[in-house]
Amino acid sequence: MNLTESPIRDRIVKTIYQEAESITSRVVRRKKSVFDWDTKLDDILTSWWFGLPIMFLLLGLVFWLTIIGANYPSQLLAKILFWGQDQLSVIFQWFGAPQWLHDFFVLGVYRTVAWVVSVMLPPMAIFFPLFALLEDLGYLPRLAFNLDRLFKLAGAHGKQALTMCMGFGCNAAGVTACRIIESPRERLIAVLTNNFVPCNGRFPTLITLAFIFMGGLAGVGAASLTVAGIVMTGVAVTLLTAWFLSKTLLKGVPSTFALELSPYRLPQIGRTIIRSLLDRTVIILTRAVLVAAPAGGLVWVLANVRPGEHSILVQGAGLLQPLGKALGLDGFILLSFILGLPANEIVLPILLMSYLSVSSMVEPDNLLALKMLLVNGQGWTWLTALCTMLFSLLHFPCGTTLFTIWRETKSAKWTGLAIIIPFMVASMVCFAINWTIRTLGLI
Partner 1 sequence: MCYSEDPEYTGAAVIALVGNPNTGKSTIFNALTGLSQHTGNWPGKTVLKAQGTYVFHGKKYVVVDLPGTYSLQSGSAEEQVAQDFLCGKRLQATVVVTDATCLERNLNLVLQVMEVTSRVIVCVNLIDEAQRKKIFIDLDCLSAELGVPVVATAARSGTGLEELKVKIEEISFKRIITNPRRLVYDPDIEEAVALIEQNLPGSVKEHFNPRWFALRLVEGNQSLLKEIEKLKWSAPCEPYRISYSGPDSKNHIPGS
Q: Which of 51, 60, 108, 138 binds partner 1 (CB under 8 A)?
A: 138
Interface stretch with partner 1, choices 221-229, 261-269, 319-327, 392-400 (CB under 8 A): 261-269
Residue/partner pairs of 361-370 with CB below 8 Å, 24 or more apart: 363/82, 363/111, 365/75, 365/78, 365/79, 365/82, 366/75, 366/78, 366/79, 367/71, 367/74, 367/75, 367/208, 367/211, 367/212, 370/208, 370/212
Shortest distance in whole angstroms from residue 45 CB to partner 1? 14
Q: Does 29 bind partner 1 (CB under 8 A)?
A: yes
Question: Angle between the 331-339 and 312-326 helix axes, to the nearest 10 degrees?
Answer: 110
* 166 within 8 A of 140, measured Cβ to Cβ: no
Interface stretch with partner 1, choices 116-124, 194-202, 229-237, 254-262 (CB under 8 A): 254-262
Under DSSP, is residue 229 helix (H, G, I), strand (E, B) or coil?
helix
Q: Does 287 bind partner 1 (CB under 8 A)?
A: no
Distance CA 13, CA 85 (A): 68
Query: How far does the chain reach from its first CA to its final CA, in angstroms?
Result: 59
Interface stretch with partner 1, choices 10-18, 62-70, 106-114, 302-310 (CB under 8 A): 10-18
Q: Which of 129, 130, 136, 147 binds partner 1 (CB under 8 A)?
A: 136
Q: Does 27 bind partner 1 (CB under 8 A)?
A: yes
Dihedral (CA of 193, 344, 179, 57) sign: negative
Interactions with partner 1, residue window 211-230 (CB under 8 A):
none
Q: Which of 244, 275, 367, 372 binds partner 1 (CB under 8 A)?
A: 275
Q: Alpha-carbon Rg of the chain, whole angstroms?
A: 25
Residue closer to partner 1, measured from CB, 13 or 432 = 13
Interface stretch with partner 1, choices 72-80, 263-271, 335-343, 433-441 (CB under 8 A): 263-271
Q: Does 276 bind partner 1 (CB under 8 A)?
A: yes
Q: Does 9 bind partner 1 (CB under 8 A)?
A: yes
Give the number of residues in contact with partner 1, rule: CB under 8 A: 54
Dihedral (CA of 50, 64, 271, 195) sign: positive
Question: Angle between the 160-169 and 139-153 helix axes, to the nearest 10 degrees?
Answer: 120
Q: Does 239 bind partner 1 (CB under 8 A)?
A: no
Q: Which of 49, 96, 256, 263 binds partner 1 (CB under 8 A)?
A: 263
Q: Does 259 bind partner 1 (CB under 8 A)?
A: yes
Under DSSP, is residue 98 helix (H, G, I), strand (E, B) or coil?
coil
Q: Does 442 bind partner 1 (CB under 8 A)?
A: no
Distance CA 96, CA 244 (A): 61
Q: Does 401 bind partner 1 (CB under 8 A)?
A: no
What residues have CB less than 8 Å from 17, skipping those under 6 apart? none
Q: Which residues of 68-106 are buried (b: 16+ CB within 10 A; e: fewer)?
A: bbbbeebbebbeebbeebeebbeebeeeebeeeebbbbb
Q: Does 132 bind partner 1 (CB under 8 A)?
A: yes
Shortest distance in whole angstroms from residue 23 CB to partner 1? 5
Residue closer to partner 1, measured from CB, 3 or 412 = 3
Residue closer to partner 1, measured from CB, 43 or 279 = 279
Distance CA 353, CA 340 (A): 12
Q: Does 256 bind partner 1 (CB under 8 A)?
A: no
Interactions with partner 1, residue window 163-192 (CB under 8 A):
165, 176-177, 179-180, 182
What residues have CB less than 8 Å from 77, skipping those under 6 apart? 117, 118, 121, 122
Q: Does 268 bind partner 1 (CB under 8 A)?
A: yes
Shortest distance in whole angstroms from residue 26 CB to partner 1? 6
Site residues, partner 1 (CB under 8 A): 1, 3-4, 6, 8-9, 11-13, 15-17, 19-21, 23-24, 26-34, 132, 135-138, 140-141, 144, 159, 162, 165, 176-177, 179-180, 182, 259-260, 262-263, 265, 267-268, 275-276, 278-280
